[in-house]
Amino acid sequence: MSTESPILRIDLESAVPVYEQLSNGIRSELVAGRLRPGQQLPTVRELALNLGVHHNTVAEAYRLLAREGWLDLRRGRGALVIARQQPEPTEQARNEFARRLRELAAKAIAQGVPKPEVSGEMRALSSELDRGGQQ
């Protein structure tokens, strides 16, 4: 993600709050390794203008990612990607992940996405995760 052209997409019609869509999108870029420690993210104001959202929405997404250990936020300097220690997974986290993954697959199938396509996307994601990324 460069400061000139954010690659994030948001859906203002979604039931998912925009700050959560932003944090999810940025987190995906971090985990995939497309955003690396030392990279500067766009300022809150720049990203808000580029996406057409209120600056407080972007600020909340950045604060959430900072609490998770992904970003260093400093007034006047913006958001800097930092090296993050991988937390030890809890049983609760593992169970929540499995539950949400099953729910997401079921929702896609219920919306008409063929089972082989859902399975193919999961395999593609698995391969991408196996190849690298921060986490």
pLDDT tens-digit map of 51-102: 999 999 999 999 999 999 999 998 877 899 999 988 899 999 999 999 999 9
Q: 54 φ, ψ to 5°?
A: -70, 145
Distance, CA of 82 to CA of 37 (rounded, Å): 4
Question: What fold characterizes domain 18-81?
Answer: Arc Repressor Mutant, subunit A (1.10.10)
Which band of pLDDT confidence, cut at 50, 70 and 90, is reported for residue 31?
confident
Which band of pLDDT confidence, cut at 50, 70 and 90, is reported for residue 129?
confident
Q: Where in the chain is the domain with CATH 1.10.10.10?
A: 18-81
Mean pLDDT of 94-122: 96
Q: 62 φ, ψ to 5°?
A: -65, -40
Q: Which residues contact 80 (CB under 8 A, 6 or more apart)?
A: 38, 39, 40, 41, 71, 72, 73, 74
Distance, CA of 125 to CA of 32 (rounded, Å): 10
